[in-house]
Structure 1
Amino acid sequence: MNDESFEQINGIALAYMGDAIYEVYIRRHLIAAGLTKPNKLHRIATHFVSAKAQAFLITKMEEEDLLTPVEQEYFKRGRNAKSHTTAKNTSVLTYRISTGFEALFGYLYLSEQTQRLDELAQWCIVTIEGKKDELGQD
Protein backbone atom coordinates (compact mmCIF):
# COMPACT_ATOMS: atom_id res chain seq x y z
CA MET A 1 0.00 0.00 0.00
CA ASN A 2 1.43 3.42 -0.84
CA ASP A 3 1.80 6.23 1.71
CA GLU A 4 -1.24 8.16 0.54
CA SER A 5 -3.51 5.13 0.84
CA PHE A 6 -3.05 4.31 4.52
CA GLU A 7 -2.73 7.97 5.52
CA GLN A 8 -6.30 8.56 4.34
CA ILE A 9 -7.80 5.65 6.30
CA ASN A 10 -9.81 6.62 9.36
CA GLY A 11 -8.93 5.40 12.85
CA ILE A 12 -11.76 2.88 13.04
CA ALA A 13 -10.71 1.20 9.78
CA LEU A 14 -7.09 1.11 10.95
CA ALA A 15 -8.27 -0.47 14.22
CA TYR A 16 -10.31 -3.03 12.27
CA MET A 17 -7.15 -4.12 10.45
CA GLY A 18 -4.96 -3.87 13.54
CA ASP A 19 -7.31 -6.05 15.58
CA ALA A 20 -6.93 -8.86 13.04
CA ILE A 21 -3.16 -8.47 12.75
CA TYR A 22 -2.56 -8.45 16.51
CA GLU A 23 -4.85 -11.48 16.89
CA VAL A 24 -2.74 -13.41 14.36
CA TYR A 25 0.43 -12.67 16.33
CA ILE A 26 -1.21 -13.90 19.52
CA ARG A 27 -2.68 -17.03 17.95
CA ARG A 28 0.67 -17.90 16.37
CA HIS A 29 2.40 -17.42 19.73
CA LEU A 30 -0.08 -19.63 21.58
CA ILE A 31 0.07 -22.43 19.02
CA ALA A 32 3.88 -22.26 19.00
CA ALA A 33 3.71 -22.61 22.80
CA GLY A 34 1.97 -25.96 22.29
CA LEU A 35 -1.63 -24.97 22.98
CA THR A 36 -4.03 -26.77 20.68
CA LYS A 37 -7.42 -27.03 22.39
CA PRO A 38 -9.78 -24.36 21.02
CA ASN A 39 -11.42 -23.50 24.34
CA LYS A 40 -8.07 -23.06 26.08
CA LEU A 41 -6.65 -21.12 23.12
CA HIS A 42 -9.58 -18.71 23.21
CA ARG A 43 -9.46 -18.27 27.00
CA ILE A 44 -5.73 -17.57 27.05
CA ALA A 45 -5.88 -15.36 23.94
CA THR A 46 -8.29 -13.03 25.72
CA HIS A 47 -5.53 -12.23 28.23
CA PHE A 48 -3.66 -10.63 25.32
CA VAL A 49 -6.40 -9.20 23.13
CA SER A 50 -9.01 -7.85 25.55
CA ALA A 51 -9.66 -4.11 25.61
CA LYS A 52 -8.28 -4.03 29.17
CA ALA A 53 -5.04 -5.77 28.12
CA GLN A 54 -4.58 -3.52 25.08
CA ALA A 55 -5.17 -0.37 27.14
CA PHE A 56 -2.64 -1.67 29.69
CA LEU A 57 -0.12 -2.29 26.90
CA ILE A 58 -0.43 1.09 25.25
CA THR A 59 -0.11 2.78 28.66
CA LYS A 60 3.10 0.79 29.29
CA MET A 61 4.39 1.72 25.81
CA GLU A 62 3.83 5.38 26.59
CA GLU A 63 5.45 5.08 30.04
CA GLU A 64 8.51 3.44 28.47
CA ASP A 65 8.55 5.94 25.58
CA LEU A 66 8.47 3.11 23.03
CA LEU A 67 6.40 4.86 20.38
CA THR A 68 7.70 7.22 17.74
CA PRO A 69 5.85 10.52 17.26
CA VAL A 70 4.21 9.13 14.10
CA GLU A 71 3.11 5.98 15.95
CA GLN A 72 1.63 8.17 18.68
CA GLU A 73 -0.32 10.08 16.03
CA TYR A 74 -1.87 6.88 14.69
CA PHE A 75 -2.68 5.68 18.21
CA LYS A 76 -4.45 8.99 18.85
CA ARG A 77 -6.26 8.77 15.53
CA GLY A 78 -7.78 5.47 16.61
CA ARG A 79 -8.39 6.54 20.21
CA ASN A 80 -10.19 9.71 19.17
CA ALA A 81 -12.22 8.17 16.34
CA LYS A 82 -15.98 8.18 16.73
CA SER A 83 -17.20 4.63 17.09
CA HIS A 84 -20.83 3.55 17.09
CA THR A 85 -20.07 0.40 19.06
CA THR A 86 -18.81 -0.29 22.56
CA ALA A 87 -17.00 -3.21 24.08
CA LYS A 88 -18.65 -5.52 26.54
CA ASN A 89 -17.41 -5.49 30.13
CA THR A 90 -15.22 -2.40 29.87
CA SER A 91 -15.45 1.37 30.19
CA VAL A 92 -15.77 3.72 27.24
CA LEU A 93 -12.30 5.11 28.00
CA THR A 94 -10.68 1.66 28.04
CA TYR A 95 -12.46 0.78 24.80
CA ARG A 96 -11.25 3.96 23.10
CA ILE A 97 -7.67 3.42 24.25
CA SER A 98 -7.75 -0.16 22.97
CA THR A 99 -9.11 1.11 19.64
CA GLY A 100 -6.05 3.36 19.47
CA PHE A 101 -3.80 0.37 20.19
CA GLU A 102 -5.43 -1.55 17.32
CA ALA A 103 -5.15 1.47 15.00
CA LEU A 104 -1.41 1.58 15.70
CA PHE A 105 -1.09 -2.07 14.65
CA GLY A 106 -3.23 -1.41 11.57
CA TYR A 107 -1.02 1.51 10.59
CA LEU A 108 2.18 -0.51 11.01
CA TYR A 109 0.76 -3.36 8.95
CA LEU A 110 -0.62 -1.20 6.14
CA SER A 111 2.58 0.85 5.95
CA GLU A 112 4.49 -2.45 5.65
CA GLN A 113 6.64 -1.84 8.73
CA THR A 114 6.94 -5.55 9.39
CA GLN A 115 10.04 -5.41 11.56
CA ARG A 116 8.50 -2.76 13.83
CA LEU A 117 5.24 -4.68 13.95
CA ASP A 118 7.12 -7.85 14.96
CA GLU A 119 9.05 -5.91 17.61
CA LEU A 120 5.97 -4.36 19.22
CA ALA A 121 3.96 -7.59 19.06
CA GLN A 122 6.76 -9.49 20.78
CA TRP A 123 7.07 -6.74 23.38
CA CYS A 124 3.32 -7.04 24.04
CA ILE A 125 3.52 -10.82 24.44
CA VAL A 126 6.43 -10.63 26.87
CA THR A 127 4.76 -7.81 28.79
CA ILE A 128 1.40 -9.60 29.18
CA GLU A 129 3.03 -12.87 30.13
CA GLY A 130 4.95 -11.08 32.87
CA LYS A 131 2.09 -8.93 34.11
CA LYS A 132 -1.05 -11.08 34.15
CA ASP A 133 -1.44 -10.41 37.88
CA GLU A 134 -1.70 -6.64 37.26
CA LEU A 135 -4.53 -7.30 34.83
CA GLY A 136 -6.39 -9.55 37.25
CA GLN A 137 -5.82 -12.60 35.09
CA ASP A 138 -4.64 -16.08 35.95
Structure 2
Amino acid sequence: MMWPYTMPEADYLTVPPAPDETGPRGELAARTLAMPAHANPSGDIFGGWIMSMMDEAGAMTAMKHARSRVVTVAATNMAFIHPVKVGDVVCCYTEVVRIGRSSITLNIEVWVLRSGLGERMKVTSAEFTFVALDEAGKPRPIR
Protein backbone atom coordinates (compact mmCIF):
# COMPACT_ATOMS: atom_id res chain seq x y z
CA MET A 1 0.00 0.00 0.00
CA MET A 2 1.03 3.57 -0.53
CA TRP A 3 1.78 5.93 2.35
CA PRO A 4 0.33 9.48 2.53
CA TYR A 5 2.25 12.33 0.98
CA THR A 6 3.83 15.00 3.14
CA MET A 7 2.69 18.61 2.66
CA PRO A 8 5.86 19.52 0.68
CA GLU A 9 5.32 16.50 -1.59
CA ALA A 10 1.66 17.39 -2.13
CA ASP A 11 2.61 21.00 -2.91
CA TYR A 12 5.25 19.78 -5.38
CA LEU A 13 2.65 17.74 -7.23
CA THR A 14 0.35 20.74 -7.72
CA VAL A 15 2.40 22.14 -10.60
CA PRO A 16 0.02 24.00 -12.95
CA PRO A 17 -1.07 21.94 -15.98
CA ALA A 18 -0.07 22.72 -19.53
CA PRO A 19 -2.25 25.45 -21.11
CA ASP A 20 -4.28 22.95 -23.18
CA GLU A 21 -5.21 20.78 -20.16
CA THR A 22 -7.37 21.43 -17.12
CA GLY A 23 -5.36 19.13 -14.85
CA PRO A 24 -5.63 15.58 -13.60
CA ARG A 25 -8.97 14.08 -12.57
CA GLY A 26 -9.13 11.98 -9.44
CA GLU A 27 -6.64 11.22 -6.70
CA LEU A 28 -2.91 10.69 -7.01
CA ALA A 29 -2.54 6.92 -6.64
CA ALA A 30 1.10 6.33 -7.64
CA ARG A 31 4.18 8.11 -8.86
CA THR A 32 7.64 7.05 -9.89
CA LEU A 33 10.67 8.15 -11.85
CA ALA A 34 11.02 6.81 -15.41
CA MET A 35 14.42 5.11 -15.59
CA PRO A 36 16.62 3.84 -18.45
CA ALA A 37 15.59 0.23 -17.72
CA HIS A 38 12.01 1.21 -18.70
CA ALA A 39 13.04 2.68 -22.07
CA ASN A 40 13.84 1.68 -25.62
CA PRO A 41 17.21 2.67 -27.16
CA SER A 42 15.77 6.08 -28.15
CA GLY A 43 14.94 6.93 -24.53
CA ASP A 44 11.16 6.59 -24.90
CA ILE A 45 9.47 4.66 -22.11
CA PHE A 46 7.75 1.43 -23.14
CA GLY A 47 3.94 1.66 -23.27
CA GLY A 48 3.69 -1.68 -21.52
CA TRP A 49 5.57 -0.27 -18.52
CA ILE A 50 3.14 2.65 -18.37
CA MET A 51 0.17 0.24 -18.58
CA SER A 52 1.64 -1.85 -15.76
CA MET A 53 1.98 1.22 -13.57
CA MET A 54 -1.63 2.17 -14.36
CA ASP A 55 -2.79 -1.34 -13.44
CA GLU A 56 -0.93 -1.20 -10.11
CA ALA A 57 -2.28 2.27 -9.25
CA GLY A 58 -5.80 1.18 -10.19
CA ALA A 59 -5.53 -1.99 -8.13
CA MET A 60 -4.55 0.01 -5.03
CA THR A 61 -7.58 2.28 -5.46
CA ALA A 62 -9.92 -0.63 -6.24
CA MET A 63 -8.71 -2.59 -3.17
CA LYS A 64 -9.39 0.44 -0.99
CA HIS A 65 -13.01 0.57 -2.19
CA ALA A 66 -13.60 -3.21 -2.36
CA ARG A 67 -11.80 -3.91 0.91
CA SER A 68 -10.54 -7.13 -0.60
CA ARG A 69 -8.23 -8.52 -3.22
CA VAL A 70 -9.06 -7.48 -6.78
CA VAL A 71 -8.09 -8.63 -10.26
CA THR A 72 -8.02 -6.69 -13.51
CA VAL A 73 -10.64 -7.86 -16.01
CA ALA A 74 -10.47 -5.12 -18.66
CA ALA A 75 -8.52 -2.08 -19.83
CA THR A 76 -10.24 -0.04 -22.53
CA ASN A 77 -10.12 3.29 -24.35
CA MET A 78 -6.37 3.70 -24.04
CA ALA A 79 -4.50 6.14 -26.24
CA PHE A 80 -0.95 7.43 -25.86
CA ILE A 81 -0.91 11.20 -26.40
CA HIS A 82 2.74 12.09 -25.74
CA PRO A 83 5.88 10.01 -25.21
CA VAL A 84 7.32 9.55 -21.73
CA LYS A 85 11.07 10.12 -21.46
CA VAL A 86 13.76 8.87 -19.10
CA GLY A 87 13.86 11.24 -16.13
CA ASP A 88 10.16 12.15 -16.22
CA VAL A 89 8.20 11.85 -12.98
CA VAL A 90 5.23 9.64 -13.91
CA CYS A 91 2.03 10.22 -11.89
CA CYS A 92 -1.11 8.04 -12.05
CA TYR A 93 -4.44 9.53 -11.02
CA THR A 94 -7.51 7.36 -10.42
CA GLU A 95 -11.19 8.28 -10.39
CA VAL A 96 -14.10 5.91 -9.73
CA VAL A 97 -16.41 5.75 -12.75
CA ARG A 98 -18.84 3.15 -11.38
CA ILE A 99 -19.16 0.43 -8.79
CA GLY A 100 -21.18 -2.63 -9.73
CA ARG A 101 -22.13 -5.69 -7.71
CA SER A 102 -18.62 -7.16 -7.71
CA SER A 103 -16.74 -4.84 -10.07
CA ILE A 104 -15.31 -1.35 -9.97
CA THR A 105 -14.39 0.72 -13.03
CA LEU A 106 -11.81 3.47 -12.77
CA ASN A 107 -10.66 6.20 -15.11
CA ILE A 108 -6.87 6.28 -14.86
CA GLU A 109 -4.87 9.20 -16.19
CA VAL A 110 -1.09 9.40 -16.44
CA TRP A 111 0.58 12.78 -16.22
CA VAL A 112 4.30 13.49 -16.24
CA LEU A 113 6.53 16.22 -14.91
CA ARG A 114 9.17 16.63 -17.58
CA SER A 115 12.63 15.93 -16.12
CA GLY A 116 10.97 15.85 -12.70
CA LEU A 117 10.32 19.56 -12.52
CA GLY A 118 9.18 20.91 -15.86
CA GLU A 119 5.70 21.40 -17.24
CA ARG A 120 3.07 18.82 -16.30
CA MET A 121 1.32 17.11 -19.20
CA LYS A 122 -1.16 14.30 -19.72
CA VAL A 123 0.39 11.38 -21.61
CA THR A 124 -2.35 8.72 -21.57
CA SER A 125 -5.61 7.60 -19.99
CA ALA A 126 -7.77 4.48 -19.94
CA GLU A 127 -10.64 2.79 -18.16
CA PHE A 128 -9.67 -0.20 -16.02
CA THR A 129 -12.23 -2.59 -14.55
CA PHE A 130 -11.43 -4.72 -11.51
CA VAL A 131 -13.41 -7.51 -9.84
CA ALA A 132 -13.36 -8.07 -6.07
CA LEU A 133 -12.44 -11.60 -4.98
CA ASP A 134 -13.08 -13.59 -1.81
CA GLU A 135 -10.52 -15.82 -0.08
CA ALA A 136 -11.30 -18.66 -2.52
CA GLY A 137 -10.65 -16.45 -5.54
CA LYS A 138 -14.33 -16.16 -6.49
CA PRO A 139 -16.08 -12.84 -7.26
CA ARG A 140 -17.58 -11.26 -4.16
CA PRO A 141 -19.96 -8.34 -3.70
CA ILE A 142 -18.53 -4.90 -3.01
CA ARG A 143 -20.24 -3.48 0.05
- Please report the TM-score for the alignment, with normalisation by the length of structure 2: 0.32
Larger relative contact order (CA 8 Å, sep ≥ 6): 1
Larger Rg: 2
- Please report the TM-score for the alignment, with normalisation by the length of structure 1: 0.33
Q: Which structure shows the bigger proportion of residues in helix conformation?
A: 1
Q: Which structure shows the bigger proportion of residues in strand conformation?
A: 2
